[in-house]
Structure 1
Amino acid sequence: MKLASFLFCLALCGIVHAAPASLIPMPAQLHLANGAFKLDSDTRIVIPPGDAAARAAAQYLADSLARTRGLHLVITEDTATRHAIAFLHERNAPVAQAEGYTLDVTPQAIRIDARDGAGLFYGAVTLWQLSTPDAQQGAVQLPALHISDWPRFAWRGLMLDSARHFQSATEVEQLLDQMAQHKLNVLHWHLTDDQGWRIQIKRYPQLTRIGAWRTPPDAGHDGEPLRYGGFYTQQQIREVVAYAAARHITIVPEIDMPGHAQAAVASYPEVGVTGKRPPVSVDWGVNPYLYNVDDATFRFIDNVLDEVMALFPSHYIHVGGDEAIKDQWKASPAIQAKLHALHLKDEDALQGWFIGRVGRYLTAHGRRLIGWDEILDGGVPPDATVMSWRGTDGAIKAAQLGHDVVMSPAPDLYLDSVQSQLPDEAAGRMPVRDLRNIYDFNPIPAALNASQSAHVLGAQANVWTEHMPSMQHVEHAVFPRLDALSEVVWSPATAHDWNGFLARLPAQFARYAEQQISYADSAFEPDIQLDANAALQSGHATVTLSNQAGYGAIRYTVDGSDPDAHAPLYAQPFAVTLPATIKAATFAADGSVIAATRTRMLDRASLLSRLGVALSNCSGSDFRLRVQPTPDATSMAPVYAINVFDACQSFPQAPLDGVTAIHVDVVRLERNYALAHDAKLVVSRPHRTPFGEFVVHRDRCDGPVLADLPLPDPARSNRRFALDGTLPVQHGEHTLCLIFTAPTDGALYAIGRVSLIAPPVAKSKP
């Protein structure tokens, strides 16, 4: 409290003392000294005459301080450095590593030294972080210190999927801004897939005239657009590439092949296997369309790559290579004849030949092929780099064979995985990959020896956007998990410190708020828990509060008011009498809010109900998604839990004493999932009415039927509807197995909330 008061006093005086605890990622070496430097509007930025790299870094710092601190610093080329920030671009700078720098803060001046432009830039990023320990404006006191810093890995990446859902060029640039602030240097841009072709290729205009647009399922109803899509013109791409380069970020484009090609085949059917034109896909998952393997198709691919290489100067060109199911190749006499003429043993080998041919074309043009780890299955060009996504086995195999690798395993670094199982978590895949999961990721597999480990270029997180229709979804998924990744790939392994990392996040959250970044507070969100059945029996509840990270001060109220810094501090479980409204929020040590207020109503009706997302899968399948009401819905809520393989959910320990009825809020969802060979795993159940039923079983999924409620005609009912039914008298607690028997060639159904209905308990007369 004394520290908070002291900081508050300094803030009123217009000067805040910045602590090194505001730095993410943590520098390789940091040593505090005595004294402080006052950064204010009179501070100048000094650069060597005619040094373009120093000027670029200085301009970035000046622009950043003006935008976030309200300080407008002048850049000069003189030699006077007193009360100035000096950028020195020197061949013999103290840190020899590429992208490294030193940063010295004394009471008299600040100095950044580096041997390359990237090092100067990252020194500027660190200095900007030191200058923004909070969201305040004006002067700031920087502690005297010395930093020597350099990255642990050369590849520090983020993959953005713009094919499934499209982001504007401006939104991509906003993401690049945040990557730069995290010292990440590779944006892997997924530009083509079954659901959309996003890059203008002037030689093939149909790729964007047709391939960039899809007709959503149930188009024009319930908020679904009549047409969905978009693409980047070549001029826009040049501008985005230049924007990234100014922030020392390389954009690696991905043009997926031989699979994930449906949008291309929809545009030019002759490059497909069958010659027939499919629609641009509306289905997530694994679609069957592959490129042909004839000379005309390779001319098409070469011509596309020519324009891609003209737009992207990156050394690497990503060619995908993943999830290419070979059914079309197996069924094509022409392709089978080609396979035998090439003396290849199978279709995997044919894919290896395909990728090899593309790799040779890239090599001939001074580029290098990179692809997902499936490129190893049929043989791979000797100089190819492998991006391991099917766990880490692909990376281990590739490194042992002498290939460079980038670690990007699922689910470890898949940011489309949900961050928690809390009721208000956004759409995404299971399993949960929380902040700690990302922070504890080790890019070097234990199976590799020292020489093999040298092939690990680094790591990247992937943002697949099937369930992220808007940039708000992307930002919620990425931040602050990207903070954790940045520290994994930049900071030395010896600097790994979970508690220290958490202590540095409040300053980062303030920066996000200042820059209007829609970050997630899931790691710190108060989880309000109690024994609902015991509370129903007694009329009292013992409430437990916690959060995922185990960090921060949770404060709460029981009267419905929003908790502030003066609300009771949670220290141990507390008792309340029903009905009650519990509200809780999490605060950092400086009093700032790091998790917004969450609310839980405690009354008889709420304790007798469960949200659909709080139910669990029935035994037999662990596949689970959180999805929105339509594939392209841009709102963050509502969200529904589904299992596309088995429409069965479990309500454990349902309190059935006195319960006489059930009310279910249901949503009908699109079954837009391409399951390929896994389609045989979908459970189909008999139904007695045309559109199926909602069936409630007791104890087991083949147990006694308590309710059997027909589903309405989809053509004559709203997407969201309610089902009501009576229940026979039951006693005690029982698991309820909740099943939709709808035909599996139609819609999916999900539960919004299931409520057990019990008449009010009559009060005895006095």
Structure 2
Amino acid sequence: MHNHHLQKIKSVTVLAITICLSLSVKAQLHIIPQPLHLTEGKGQFLLNSKAVIGVDKESETVGKYLQTYLTQYYKLNLKLKVYPKVPAGAAIQLITTAGDKEGSYALHVSTGTVKVFGKGAGVFYGVQSLIQLLPAKTIAPLKVAVCTVADEPRFQWRGLSLDVSRHFFTVDEVKQYIDVMAHYKLNVFHWHLTDDEGWRIQINKYPKLTEIGAKITYYEKQGKFRKLDNLIDGGGKDGFYTQDEIREVIKYARDRFISILPEIEMPGHSEAAIFAYPELGCQDSTGAKHRVRMLDPSEHTFTFMEDVLTEVIALFPNQYIHIGGDEAEMVDWLKSPTAVALMKKEGMKSEKEVQSYFIKRIEKFLLSKNKKLVGWDEILQGGLAESATVMSWQGEAGGIAAAKMHHHVIMTPLPYMYFDAPQASEDLEPIGWNPTVTWQMVYNYEPMSSELSPEEAEYVLGSQGNIWAEKIPTASHLQYMVYPRALAVAELTWSAKENKNLDRFDFKMKQQYGYFKLWNWNARLPDIVGMNNIVTNSDQFGLVLKYPLLGAQVRYSLNGKMPDSSAKPQLFPIKINTMLKDTLNIKTYTTWTLNKQHVLQEATIRHVDINPVVIDQAALTPGFSYRLIKSKEYNIEKVDTTQLFTMAVINSAAPMVLPVTDGNLTWVKLNGFIRINVDGDYQVTSDFLVSPALFINGEQIIYRGKDRYAQPQKGMLHLKKGAYAITGHYIADNMNRLEDLLVIKSADGKVIEPQVYMFHQ
């Protein structure tokens, strides 16, 4: 389980692009991922039972897929006809072309026909775009907006993982997971089949791997195995896939143009295999008894692994095999007579070279079978195998290093691509690893790091969302954790970089919930719009809560306690008007689809008194002043201010403060005055992803360390003409030097230019 300390979250500025869609279309064209070119026409295509799906030999499988989909979800039974050349009269035409780029397609919807042209997977991707033009309700006749789409993928690797070791998921659950991936043009399913908690793939030569290694929960109950730590719900579910079931899932995925990347973990994360075959485990010359998760680097182990991989390779047509390589407890090797003898024989100076030797031996074997090795970024340690592809999870550093060495890379970094993290405030979400990761953070991620040259960036194959199942006991819980964040992965890996737009994606994402309902898919519900932490100096406070899904109901309280079933459910919008003397804690329990799905939220509305300070305004000069302090101390109260190393003035919202690089933190302490020229209502926020602390006249408006998306904070202040003292502090890093420290908007939503209000004495 990848659960290291998180690096600072890096925000990528999204290019705002003009959306040339009229409001009437906005309700229709919500295709995810955003196509390269999309034009809306006038009118609609009416799809009824008389329509024929015309296909050629190559597109027949996709035609059957569409035919089955329309029957399953719309009770619409269409005829499918295979032609040497699809006639112009067929209502739906799926036509194979010799396109330029694998996966490219064109979709033309007119009032009389639907035509999909594509190369390879392209016809299938065109059909997925068509599916998202269908209404999310089974209402006849089905209307499809007239439009033209020309589209192709940006990256070839658009992935999603599934850990079936920590909790076993059935063949049907895996197929449904693949189904929904396919709807969003994701094309790599990374199947994490082995780990400490369970071995899930049948290996004929070593039957104990599944007879014992897949039944660890059973053996734990017999008292014959360690307690399964980190697993919730009383331990994992036992189970494994037979080789026939593996073949069945591979065919199912292939019919949806998804390749499966199997992962067989080594040399660490191997406790289930060692439980089944103890001789594989790292021997300890001191005789100490402890958990053994590391494979002994013996000839017996290499023979075993080659035998296992031979059977895996015979099953999986995919060119890549993932061998793990992460979190290897290499110190165990220093006590192993086998490993120590190997180090002596090979002239190795450190245990990291044993890891490199191990990976390179396996790589040589895979190459002999015409397969390529993929491993987590720890395989860089001790020297990288010559043909290895690196999956970069511990942030981007490993991926950047590998790309600079001209190795292929898949970017799956913490925190953005780790969907076992909660999606909002941790107190209100299911238990998870790591701090909050919102869909906005996922969407804003850019796989081609600016640290790479254009030539090096070409080695980035794409990106992938990862999920680890220690705390995920059921399929519906899995769906909740992965979606809607997987939609952001789909768009950032498929759509052109300049075609990304956070607000448009937000709208489109919310339109997917009708399909989720159709597919019986338990995606996490969207948040209520308007639930922000607010500081205000208004005595009479008004708030309107809105919700993007029709029919949603909410129970809410204003006393800080989560409303229970005795609270009356109400439909949105909710208008809250109240006298405000101190603090109001709003807690909401929103339900949708017959109360099966729900989401919890909370917000604090705090009252403060803020009036202009008495000051000689003629003595003010432009800009805020700030002091930079070097420190290793994370607590501002304990920071030694004698470590001051510079003072300066900022004249714009973005401070552009570069952090020091000598191992210290760079604390920024600022002060100055906000000068207001016109009485009115103003909104005060920070655009830092991880917020600074900001005070106006000594009253705290923004609290440090909160996530902009998960815990939005605003000052909603009525400010009279005059000056207001501002102070604040934060730790400067490479991320926030590109973000706006302070944003002030007038009542009509216009951003006020910083030079208008920034002053100091």
Counterpart residue number, 2:75? 70
The one-letter code of the counterpart of 2:341 is: A
Per-residue CA deviation, residues 469-523 of structure 1 (Å, 9 max, x unaligned), is 1111110001111111100001111111111111112321111011111110154
Pick closer, same or farther for the CA change 1:546–1:405 going to 2, 3 Å.
Answer: farther
Per-residue CA deviation, residues 5-29 of structure 1 (Å, 9 max, x unaligned), is xxxxxxxxxxx99954321111111
Counterpart residue number, 1:30? 38
- Residue 565 of structure 2 corresponds to residue 563 of structure 1: no
TM-score, with structure 1 as normaliser = 0.67
- Deviation (angstroms), 1:69: 2.3
The one-letter code of the counterpart of 2:241 is: Y
Distance 1:22 1:98 in 2: 23
Q: Which runs of 5+ in 2 are unaligned?
A: 1-23, 558-565, 605-633, 636-761
State how 1:691-702 maps to structure 2 within 5 Å: none
Counterpart residue number, 2:174? 172
Per-residue CA deviation, residues 68-125 of structure 1 (Å, 9 max, x unaligned), is 222222111355433601111122xxx4111110001111211111122x11111111
Q: Is the 8 A contact 1:65 1:72 kept in 2?
A: yes
How many corresponding residue pairs? 565
Alpha-carbon RMSD: 4.0
Distance 1:352 1:491 in 2: 36
State how 1:5-20 maps to structure 2 within 5 Å: 19-20=27-28
Q: Is the 8 A contact 1:25 1:491 kept in 2?
A: yes
For residue 215 of structure 2, the aligned residue among 213, 222, 235 is 213
- Residue 135 of structure 2 corresponds to residue 127 of structure 1: no
Distance 2:440 2:583 in 1: 35
Per-residue CA deviation, residues 501-549 of structure 1 (Å, 9 max, x unaligned), is 1111232111101111111015447748689xx9xxxxx9968677999
Q: Percent identity?
A: 33
Distance 2:350 2:402 in 1: 21
Pick closer, same or farther for the CA change 1:86–1:486 going to 2, 3 Å.
Answer: same
Counterpart residue number, 1:521? 525
Pick closer, same or farther for the CA change 1:391–1:80 going to 2, 3 Å.
Answer: same
- Deviation (angstroms), 1:437: 0.5
Q: Is the 8 A contact 1:544 1:574 kept in 2?
A: no
Q: Is the 8 A contact 2:298 2:338 kept in 1?
A: no
Distance 1:578 1:454 in 2: 53
For residue 412 of structure 1, the aligned residue among 413, 416, 420 is 416
- Residue 387 of structure 2 corresponds to residue 383 of structure 1: yes
Pick closer, same or farther for the CA change 1:153–1:578 going to 2, 3 Å.
Answer: closer
Per-residue CA deviation, residues 15-72 of structure 1 (Å, 9 max, x unaligned), is x999543211111111112332111222211112xx1x31111111121122222222
Q: Secondary structure at the match of 2:94?
A: strand
For residue 185 of structure 2, the aligned residue among 180, 183, 186 is 183
Counterpart residue number, 1:358? 362
Q: Is the 8 A contact 2:25 2:40 kept in 1?
A: no
Q: Secondary structure at the match of 2:310?
A: helix
Q: Secondary structure at the match of 2:138?
A: coil
Per-residue CA deviation, residues 151-187 of structure 1 (Å, 9 max, x unaligned), is 1100000111111111111100110000000100001
Q: Secondary structure at the match of 1:21?
A: coil
Distance 1:598 1:541 in 2: 26
Per-residue CA deviation, residues 651-700 of structure 1 (Å, 9 max, x unaligned), is xxxxxxxxxxxxxxxxxxxxxxxxxxxxxxxxxxxxxxxxxxxxxxxxxx
State how 1:364-375 maps to structure 2 within 5 Å: 364-375=368-379
- Residue 252 of structure 2 corresponds to residue 248 of structure 1: no
For residue 272 of structure 1, the aligned residue among 272, 276, 281 is 281
Distance 2:134 2:376 in 1: 40
State how 1:234-383 maps to structure 2 within 5 Å: 234-274=243-283, 288-383=292-387
- Residue 508 of structure 2 corresponds to residue 500 of structure 1: no
Distance 1:442 1:548 in 2: 29
Distance 2:596 2:502 in 1: 17
Counterpart residue number, 1:761? none
Q: Is the 8 A contact 2:530 2:543 kept in 1?
A: no
- Deviation (angstroms), 1:228: 4.3
The one-letter code of the counterpart of 1:124 is: V
Q: Is the 8 A contact 2:59 2:96 kept in 1?
A: yes
Counterpart residue number, 1:138? 140
Q: Secondary structure at the match of 1:474?
A: helix
- Residue 119 of structure 2 corresponds to residue 104 of structure 1: no
Counterpart residue number, 2:52? 44
Q: Secondary structure at the match of 2:63?
A: helix
Distance 1:19 1:593 in 2: 26
Q: Secondary structure at the match of 2:46?
A: strand
Distance 1:18 1:226 in 2: 46
Counterpart residue number, 1:613? none
Pick closer, same or farther for the CA change 1:180–1:341 going to 2, 3 Å.
Answer: same
State how 1:294-693 maps to structure 2 within 5 Å: 294-421=298-425, 423-524=427-528, 527=531, 560-565=567-572, 567-569=573-575, 585=590, 596=598
Q: Secondary structure at the match of 2:477?
A: helix
Pick closer, same or farther for the CA change 1:487–1:268 going to 2, 3 Å.
Answer: same
TM-score, with structure 2 as normaliser = 0.68
- Deviation (angstroms), 1:561: 2.6
Per-residue CA deviation, residues 250-309 of structure 1 (Å, 9 max, x unaligned), is 011001111111111111111122289x9x99xxxxx65211112111111100000010
Distance 1:417 1:580 in 2: 25
- Residue 29 of structure 2 corresponds to residue 21 of structure 1: yes
State how 1:149-164 maps to structure 2 within 5 Å: 149-164=151-166
Distance 1:492 1:181 in 2: 19
- Deviation (angstroms), 1:550: 14
The one-letter code of the counterpart of 1:69 is: Y
- Deviation (angstroms), 1:339: 0.7
Distance 2:532 2:296 in 1: 55
Q: Secondary structure at the match of 1:159?
A: strand
Per-residue CA deviation, residues 182-204 of structure 1 (Å, 9 max, x unaligned), is 10000111111111111111100
Distance 1:112 1:312 in 2: 30
Distance 2:531 2:596 in 1: 14
Distance 1:486 1:601 in 2: 31
Distance 1:524 1:113 in 2: 40
Distance 1:112 1:476 in 2: 32
Pick closer, same or farther for the CA change 1:65–1:269 going to 2, 3 Å.
Answer: same
Q: Is the 8 A contact 1:386 1:403 kept in 2?
A: yes
Higher mean C-alpha deviation, range 100-109 or range 453-462 = 100-109
Q: Is the 8 A contact 1:580 1:601 kept in 2?
A: yes
Q: Which runs of 5+ in 1 are unaligned?
A: 1-15, 282-286, 535-539, 603-618, 621-766
Pick closer, same or farther for the CA change 1:105–1:271 going to 2, 3 Å.
Answer: same
Distance 2:456 2:498 in 1: 21
The one-letter code of the counterpart of 1:487 is: E
- Deviation (angstroms), 1:418: 0.5
Q: Is the 8 A contact 2:261 2:321 kept in 1?
A: yes
Distance 2:569 2:450 in 1: 48
Per-residue CA deviation, residues 360-398 of structure 1 (Å, 9 max, x unaligned), is 100000100010011011112221100000100001100
